């Protein structure tokens, strides 16, 4: 199976039932009357379709909290016991995984640290499969069956064929048929979604609650990337490469990026760049609290800056200046109403972040200053695995038996 067949992610339902499942997902606690209003489907057809969904336990029904009296209305909900999916993000530093049930709720979370960045390709594939087996074993107590696995890769991917394309943060990770390899090993359907599309979808569903139509989510970590929600859709680009913000040319400094170019945003702004700057300064005997640490990582630099360490503040301020410029370039092209920054940036502390927001905002045009909101995500961990799980469940509810 070289080309991925999306029929593996299909819930075998009629188009009417699919429409209702999607509406129930988007508007939890929906009565039959509200479902008819939202979908335009006649009440008689709603009743027939819902009866089948209740019989097969894809949904359940209970009285609505805001309804009283002898003719109290009942709301419909996706049944979390119908099954679950495993979403897993593999990163240079290890794994984060999550079981997300059919009700779009986190059922179990997993994490394991491991140096995947410099590992041989075959060994990396083995470790991915091994950890997924561990997660599946730990999920054996959950109700329902595992409906599939969704993998979030840190690089560019070919979703249609389930293959990696390019990764700047892990060695020897090009043109790997990871979905096929994992699927054969686990005997489960495997999705390889666009990484940033999955993450912005998770932010949209669980944090913004779908209330904004044009959103940028800026990931800040080992790399830098941008997830897009534009006009209510989650575009991934012609070659599935949209959002590679980290490789915007941002400086004329001859700083080599892991992509092979020089002067990329990621090379001077991402967490590894902060750590590299700190290491160089420590070698030169610069005064800093970071010198007391046995090993310095990018988060350490952010935390030291939050505590007022002069060296760390300088490093972080310079990095955030580059990030501000890049973000404003995207704003002028994409015209978002909301920009959400990665939760990890909060480690820099409220003062530096307030300066950063002012630095971004001052570059906006007058109208943009009035219409664009900036915030930092409250989702602290497992955003990638949550997004991966959501992407697979959305795919599961996207097709019908007559497609």
What integer pLDDT is reported at residue 168 of this predicted model? 81
What integer pLDDT is reported at residue 73 of this predicted model? 76
pTM more than 0.85 = yes
Q: How far apart are CA 308 and CA 389, in angstroms?
A: 39
How crowded is the C-beta side of 301, counted as CA atoms within 13 Å? 28
Answer yes or no: do 17 and 141 share one domain. Answer: no
- Report yes or no: 207 and 166 within 8 Å, Cβ to Cβ: no
- What is the CATH number for 35? 1.10.10.10
Hunting for tokens 């992407």 — which residue is that?
Answer: 391
Hunting for tokens 């359940």 — which residue is that?
Answer: 60
Answer yes or no: do 252 and 366 share one domain. Answer: yes
- Report yes or no: 305 and 319 within 8 Å, Cβ to Cβ: no
- Report yes or no: 268 and 322 within 8 Å, Cβ to Cβ: yes
- Report yes or no: 182 and 149 within 8 Å, Cβ to Cβ: yes
Q: How far apart are CA 192 and CA 200, in angstroms?
A: 16
Model confidence pLDDT, tens digit, residues 288-298: 999 999 999 99
What integer pLDDT is reported at residue 328 of this predicted model? 95
- Report yes or no: 295 and 327 within 8 Å, Cβ to Cβ: no
- What is the CATH number for 359? 3.30.420.40
Answer yes or no: do 128 and 77 share one domain. Answer: no
What integer pLDDT is reported at residue 72 of this predicted model? 61
Answer yes or no: do 39 and 128 share one domain. Answer: no
Instruction: Name the E strands within 279-370.
Output: 338-341
Burial of 115 (0-12, 13-18, 19+ CB in 10 A): exposed
> Is 203 contained in some domain?
no
Pair of tokens at residue 322: 């580059």
What integer pLDDT is reported at residue 373 of this predicted model? 96
Q: Could you say which of 81, 112, 129 is where a domain stops?
A: 81
Q: How far apart are CA 61 and CA 70, in angstroms?
A: 17
Query: 202 — phi, psi (to 5°)?
Result: -65, -45
> Is 204 contained in some domain?
no
User: 291: domain range?
Assistant: 211-371
Instruction: Name the E strands within 1-101.
Output: 59-63, 74-78, 83-91, 94-101
Identify the three-state secondary structure at position 125.
helix
In degrees, rounded to 5, the angle at the alpha carbon of residue 322 between the alpha carbons of residues 319 and 324 is 110
Which residues in the chain land under pLDDT 70?
Answer: 1-11, 65-72, 399-403
Q: How far apart are CA 33 and CA 38, in angstroms?
A: 9
> Is 26 contained in some domain?
yes
> Is 260 contained in some domain?
yes
How crowded is the C-beta side of 247, counted as CA atoms within 13 Å? 15
The tally of domains found in the chain comes to 3
Q: Could you say which of 38, 57, 81 is where a domain stops?
A: 81
Answer yes or no: do 272 and 291 share one domain. Answer: yes
Answer yes or no: do 26 and 122 share one domain. Answer: no
């Amino acid at each position: 199976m070289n080309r991925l067949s999306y029929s593996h992610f299909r819930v075998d339902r009629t188009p009417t039932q699919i429409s209702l499942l999607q509406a129930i997902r988007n508007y939890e606690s929906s009565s039959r009357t509200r479902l008819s209003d939202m979908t335009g489907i006649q009440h008689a057809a709603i009743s027939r379709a819902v009866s089948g969904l209740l019989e097969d336990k894809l949904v359940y029904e209970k009285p609505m909290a805001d309804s009283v009296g002898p003719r109290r209305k009942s709301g419909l909900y996706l049944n979390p016991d119908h099954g679950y999916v495993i979403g897993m993000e593999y990163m240079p530093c290890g794994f984060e995984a999550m079981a997300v049930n059919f009700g779009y709720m986190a059922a179990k979370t997993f994490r394991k640290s491991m140096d995947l960045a410099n590992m041989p390709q075959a060994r990396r594939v083995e470790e991915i499969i091994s950890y997924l087996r561990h997660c599946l074993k730990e999920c054996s107590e959950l109700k329902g069956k595992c409906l599939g696995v969704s993998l979030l890769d840190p690089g560019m991917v070919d979703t249609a064929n389930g293959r990696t394309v390019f990764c700047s943060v892990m060695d020897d990770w090009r043109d790997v048929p990871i979905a096929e390899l994992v699927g054969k090993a686990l005997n489960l359907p495997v999705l390889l979604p666009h990484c940033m599309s999955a993450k912005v979808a998770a932010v949209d569903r669980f944090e913004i609650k779908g209330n904004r139509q044009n959103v940028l989510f800026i990931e800040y970590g080992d790399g830098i990337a941008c997830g897009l929600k534009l006009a209510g859709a989650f575009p991934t680009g012609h070659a599935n490469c949209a959002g590679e913000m980290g490789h915007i040319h941002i400086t004329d400094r001859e700083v080599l990026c892991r992509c092979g170019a020089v002067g990329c945003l990621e090379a001077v702004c991402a967490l590894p760049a902060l750590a590299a700057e700190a290491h160089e300064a420590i070698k030169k005997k610069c005064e800093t609290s970071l010198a007391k640490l046995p090993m310095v990582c990018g988060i350490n630099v952010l935390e030291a800056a939050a505590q007022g360490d002069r060296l760390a503040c300088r490093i972080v301020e310079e990095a955030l200046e580059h990030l501000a410029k890049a973000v404003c370039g995207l704003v002028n092209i994409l015209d978002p109403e909301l920009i959400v920054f990665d939760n990890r940036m909060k480690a820099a502390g409220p003062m530096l972040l307030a300066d950063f927001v002012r630095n971004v905002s001052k570059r906006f045009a007058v109208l943009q200053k009035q219409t664009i909101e900036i915030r930092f995500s409250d989702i602290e961990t497992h955003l990638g695995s949550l997004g991966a799980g959501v992407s697979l469940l959305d795919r599961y509810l996207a097709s019908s038996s007559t497609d």
